[in-house]
Chain A
Amino acid sequence: MMKMKMKMKMKMKMLVVYILVLLSFPVSSSERTAACRHFSYEEPGYWVFFSDKNGVCFDPYDFFDSKAIERRKKLGLSLFDTLDFPVSNDYLHQLGNYVDSVGLVSRWFNAAYVHAAAFQLTEIESLSFVDSIRPASLRLLLASDQEETDEQSLLLKADTALLNAQLRHMSGTMFHENNFFGQGVRIAIFDAGFRGVKTHPAFSHLINDGRIVATHDFHRKRENVYVASTHGTMVLSAIAGMLDGQPMGLATGAEFLLARTEIRREPLAEEKYWLAAVEWADQHGADIINSSLGYIYHRYYPEQMDGQTSLVARAAHIAARKGILIVNSAGNQGNDDSWRIIVTPADADSVLTVGALDYPSMLRSPFSSVGPTADGRMKPNVSALGNVVAASRRGLAKPQGTSFASPLVAGFAACLWQMYPNWSNMDVFNAIQRSASLYPYYDYAHGHGIPQASGFFNQNAGFQMPTFDIIAENDSIKIMLRERIDAVDQTSYAKIPGNKYLYYHKRNADGRIARYYVVDLQDADKISIARNAFDEGQSLFVHFNGHTSGISVK
Chain B
Amino acid sequence: MMKPIFTLILMTLFTLGYGQTVVIAEDVDQQEETPEFGMNRKHYTHTFLSVLFVAGPPEHHSADVIYGRSRSLEFGYRYKGRLSDTFSVGSEIMGRRSAFHIKQSDAKSVPDTISRDSEKLVFLEAGIGAYTRINFGQRGNYIGRFVDAGIYASWTLHTRHVLFYEEEDVNYRVRKTGMNYPANLNYGLIARIGFNNFVIKGTYRMSELFKESAGLPELPRYALGVEFGLHPL
Contact = CB atoms under 8 A, between A and B. Distances in A.
Interface of A: 4, 7, 11, 14-15, 18, 21-22, 25-26, 29, 44, 135, 137, 139, 296-304, 338, 340-341, 361, 363-364, 370, 372, 443-445, 476, 501, 508, 512-530, 533
Interface size class of B (residues with CB under 8 A): 35 or more
Contact of B23 (A298, A363, A513, A528): A363
Q: Which are the 6 A-B pairs with shortest beta-carbon distances?
A: A524-B18, A533-B12, A135-B138, A518-B24, A522-B19, A524-B20
Interface in B30-77: 30, 34, 38-40
A517 B24 contact: yes
Nearest to B143: A298
B117 interface: no
Contact of A518 (B1, B15, B22, B38): B22
Contacts of A523: 18-19
Contacts of A527: 13-16, 20
A524 B15 contact: yes
A514 B28 contact: yes
Contacts, number: 141
Given A14-B189, A300-B140, A518 B23 contact: yes
5 contacts: A445-B24, A508-B30, A519-B22, A520-B22, A524-B20
Contact of B189 (A18, A25, A445, A515): A18
Contacts of A508: 30
Contacts of B208: 7
Nearest to A341: B1
B9 interface: yes
Contacts of A135: 137-139
Given A298-B139, A444-B28, A501 B19 contact: no
Interface in B132-190: 132, 134, 136-142, 144, 147, 149, 151, 189
Given A25-B147, A25-B149, A524-B19, 8 more contacts: A14-B204, A300-B140, A301-B34, A372-B28, A444-B2, A514-B28, A529-B14, A533-B11
Contacts of A519: 13, 20-23
B191 interface: yes
B13 A338 contact: no
Contacts of B138: 135, 299
Given A298-B140, A533-B11, A340 B21 contact: no
A5 B44 CA distance: 42
A236 to B, nearest CB: 29
Contact of A338 (B30, B141, B189): B141
B137 A512 contact: no
Interface of B: 1-2, 5, 8-9, 11-16, 18-28, 30, 34, 38-40, 132, 134, 136-142, 144, 147, 149, 151, 189, 191, 204, 206, 208, 212, 232
Contacts of B132: 22
B12 A370 contact: no
B21 A520 contact: yes
Given A444-B26, A445-B24, A501-B23, A303 B34 contact: yes
Contacts of A304: 140
Contact of B20 (A21, A25, A340, A521): A521
B206 to A, nearest CB: 5
A15 B189 CA distance: 9
B162 to A, nearest CB: 28
B85 to A, nearest CB: 10
A517 B25 contact: yes
Contacts of A303: 34
A9 to B, nearest CB: 12
B12 A137 contact: no
B13 to A, nearest CB: 6
Most-contacted residue by chain B among A25, A137, A300, A524 (CB, 10 A) = A25
B23 A301 contact: no
A44 B141 contact: no
A496 B28 CA distance: 27
Most-contacted residue by chain A among B26, B39, B206 (CB, 10 A) = B26
Contacts of A21: 149, 191
Contacts of B14: 476, 527-530
A299 B13 contact: no
A120 to B, nearest CB: 14
A21 B131 CA distance: 12
A512 B28 contact: yes
A493 to B, nearest CB: 17
Contacts of B26: 370, 443-445, 515-517
Most-contacted residue by chain B among A363, A443, A524 (CB, 10 A) = A524
Nearest to B188: A14
A508 B227 CA distance: 48
A299 B25 contact: no
Contacts of B1: 302, 340-341, 370
A363 B14 CA distance: 22
A514 B191 CA distance: 48
Most-contacted residue by chain A among B9, B25, B142 (CB, 10 A) = B142
B190 to A, nearest CB: 10
Given A512-B28, A517-B9, A520-B23, A526 B134 contact: no
A522 B139 CA distance: 48
B5 to A, nearest CB: 7
Contacts of A29: 136
B18 to A, nearest CB: 3
Most-contacted residue by chain A among B9, B14, B24, B151 (CB, 10 A) = B24
A476 to B, nearest CB: 8
A295 B132 CA distance: 30
A17 B5 CA distance: 56
A521 B15 CA distance: 10
B227 to A, nearest CB: 18
A518 B137 CA distance: 43
Contact of B28 (A7, A26, A516, A522): A516
Contacts of A4: 212
Nearest to B207: A11
